[in-house]
Amino acid sequence: MLNLNRIIALLLLAFSSAYGFLSYTYHLLPFERFLAVKPNTMPIALSIAGIICSIAILIQPKASNEKIESDGTVNRADGEYLKNPQNFNWVQGVGLLILACIYSISLRELGFIFCTSLFLFLGGYLLGDRRYIILIPISISSSVIFWYLVEKVLTIYLRPWPNWIF
C-alpha cells in the first residue's frame, strides 16, 4: 500500500516530469541556440536528476529502523501526529492557516494596522484565549508599534488604514 512517503515521491516524480517537459519545450531565442549553456540546459539536467531520484525513493525498500520517537516531548517527530490524529488539535492549526490566508487577501484592502490587529486578536481567540482585556490592547498596540517602526523609523511604506479612509 502507498504510504505518505511514497505518495509524495510520486508527486515529486510528476513535478519533475512536468518541469522537464516545460524545460524541453522552452522557447529559445535565436541567438540562445548557439550558447554553450542554454537557458534550459540546467533545468533539463535537474529534471532528469529529479525523475531518477523520485523513482529511487519509490523503489527504495522501507527502512525497518524508521521508528518515530514518540516520547511526548517537545521534540516529538512530526510523523507522530498522523498516527493518532485524534489526540491533536487540528482545528486550531488549520484555522490559523485559513486565518493567515484571509489576512493575506485583506491586508491591502483593510490596511496594515486594522488587519494586523484583527489577525492577532482572532489568532489568540482561536487558540483559546478569552481574556479580551489583555488580548485586544496587545493586538492593537503591537500592530501600531510595528507599523511605526517600519514606516516612520525605517521609512518603508505600509498602508496603515483601509483603502476607503485614505
Partner 1 sequence: MLDGLLLGLETAFTFQNMFFAALGCFIGTIIGMLPGLGPMSVVAIMIPVSLQIGDPSTTLILLAGVYYGAIFGGSTSSILINAPGEAAVVATSFDGYPMARNGQAGKALTIAAISSFSGGTIGVVLLMFFAPALASFAILFWSAEYFALMLVGLSAISAFAGKGKVLKAIMMTILGLMLATVGESSLFQAPRFTLGIMDLQSGINFVTLAMGLFAVPEAFFLAIDKIRGEKSGSKKSQEINNLRINRKEAKSIAPVIGRQSIQGFLIGVMPGTGATIASFLGYAVERNLASPKERKEFGKGSIKGLSAPETANNAASTGSFVPLLTLGIPGSGTTAVLLGAFIALNLQPGPQLMQDRPEVFWSVILSMYFGNIILLVLNLPLVPYIAKLLTIPRSYLIPFVLFFAMAGAYIGQNNSTELLILIGFGVIAIIFRFADYPLPPLLIGFVLGQMFEDNFGRAMRNANGIQFIWERPMTLILIFSAAIFILVPLIRDWLNIKKK
Q: How far is the CB of 45 from partner 1 (least distance, A)?
A: 9
- In sign, the C-alpha dihedral spanning 60, 63, 69, 75 is negative
Residue carrying C-alpha cell 508527486: 11
Closest to partner 1 by CB, 71 or 164: 71
In angstroms, give the least distance from the CB of 136 to partner 1.
12
Start-to-end CA distance of the chain, whole Å, equals 58
Select 93 or 165, whichever has its Cβ closest to partner 1.
93
**Other beta carbons less than 10 A from residue 78's beta carbon:** 7
Minimum CB separation from partner 1 for residue 144, in Å?
13
Q: Judged by CB, which is closer to partner 1: 35, or 165?
A: 35
Find the farthest-apart pair of alpha carbons in the chain and give their distance in angstroms, rounded: 69
* Cα within 13 Å of Cα(129), Cβ side: 15
Name which of 114 and 123 has its Cβ closer to partner 1: 123
CB 102 to partner 1: min, Å: 10
d(CA 56, CA 50): 10
Nearest to 103 by CA among 118, 121, 93: 118
- We find the least distance from the C-beta atom of residue 54 to partner 1, in angstroms, to be 6
| Dist. CA 9–CA 51, nearest whole Å | 10
